């Protein structure tokens, strides 16, 4: 790539919401062309080989094969400049850091993304792929980055764990960022979740944490035995529910232990009533 050539970028993430976030940021860059998107590892391998992008944003945890398996199948020596995208995992992040490979921890802010893109852009312009590929090989050989079975589950160190799933696949923690620091919030500490535009807010002991996840994505990845979506803009942790106050027209309000109320929509009230034992 010459200085005057557009940067050809491939986006790889199994969640459309995350690809949209990257796309929105990249479309503000005049020298960037998004040449393709992939929603799983198999598709990613094919597109890397056929499209030959300059840069790929590569999610680690995906169905089918993981981002690290994508690198293995393509071959580290044939990979474009690669930015790994991962949820909070100290082992994975440390492995990337030690190898001087760039990565984004979800959720990331605009400033962190801009820094990452600038470094990737310079690497492409300098055509320093040999150095990057040797670092990829180093990471692939790091025990903390071991990849498990073909279903995308991580090894013992928990690499590629999304936002931290348990053995049953449901989330056990969610990464939040505050003042440049990423921390995990155990889902067992969440009282409820509110929609905030295209994002969501985790409410924990009265404090709110914004995460760049859609309500649908969170609903799909939270254990339905522990969480219930009671409104299009509200997900509640069931053991925080004290009771249900019925309202006119079929709507209602959830009464929370320790105080507080949340709106329940008519279409979702039946599921809550069934959990409360009010319906057979």
pLDDT in tens, 229-280: 999 999 999 999 999 988 776 678 999 998 899 999 888 888 888 888 875 5
Q: Name the phi and psi angles at 206, rounded to 5.
A: 85, -10
The pTM of the whole model exceeds 0.75 = no
More confident residue, 166 or 227: 227
**Please, where in the chain does CATH 2.40.50.1020 lie?**
173-275
pLDDT at residue number 98: 47
**Please, where in the chain does CATH 3.40.50.2300 lie?**
7-145
Domain 7-145 top-level CATH class: alpha beta
Q: What stretches of 75-188 show up as alpha helix (H) in DSSP?
A: 90-98, 110-126, 129-140
Buried b (16+ CB within 10 A) or exposed e, 221-248: bbbeeebbbbbeebbbbbebbeebeeee
Residues 74, 58 contacting (CB under 8 angstroms): no
pLDDT at residue number 153: 35
CATH number of this structure's domain 173-275, picked from the four choices 3.40.50.620, 2.40.50.1020, 3.30.565.10, 3.60.21.10: 2.40.50.1020
Average pLDDT of 164-175?
Answer: 66
């Amino acid at each position: 790539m010459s200085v005057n050539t557009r940067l050809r970028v491939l986006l790889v993430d199994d969640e459309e919401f995350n690809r949209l976030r990257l796309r929105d940021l990249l479309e503000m860059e005049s020298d960037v062309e998004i040449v393709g998107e992939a929603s799983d590892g198999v598709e990613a391998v094919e597109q890397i080989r056929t499209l030959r992008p300059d840069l790929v944003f590569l999610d680690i945890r995906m169905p089918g094969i993981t981002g690290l398996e994508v690198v293995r199948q393509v071959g580290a020596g044939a990979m474009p400049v690669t930015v790994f995208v991962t949820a909070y995992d100290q082992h994975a992040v440390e492995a990337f850091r030690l190898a001087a490979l760039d990565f984004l921890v979800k959720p990331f802010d605009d400033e962190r993304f801009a820094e990452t893109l600038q470094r990737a852009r310079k690497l492409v312009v300098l055509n320093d792929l040999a150095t990057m590929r040797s670092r990829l090989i180093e990471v692939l050989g790091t025990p903390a980055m071991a990849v498990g079975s073909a279903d995308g589950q991580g090894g013992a160190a928990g690499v590629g764990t999304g936002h931290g799933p348990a053995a049953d696949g449901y989330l056990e923690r969610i990464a939040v960022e505050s003042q440049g620091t990423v921390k995990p919030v155990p889902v067992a500490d969440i009282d409820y979740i509110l929609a905030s535009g295209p994002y969501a807010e985790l409410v924990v002991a009265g404090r709110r944490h914004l995460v760049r996840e859609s309500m649908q994505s969170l609903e799909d990845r939270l254990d339905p035995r522990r969480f219930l979506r009671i409104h299009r803009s509200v997900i509640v942790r069931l053991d925080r529910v004290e009771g249900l106050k019925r309202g006119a027209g079929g709507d209602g309000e959830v009464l929370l232990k320790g105080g507080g109320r949340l709106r329940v929509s008519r279409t979702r009230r039946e599921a809550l009533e069934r959990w409360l034992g009010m319906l057979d």
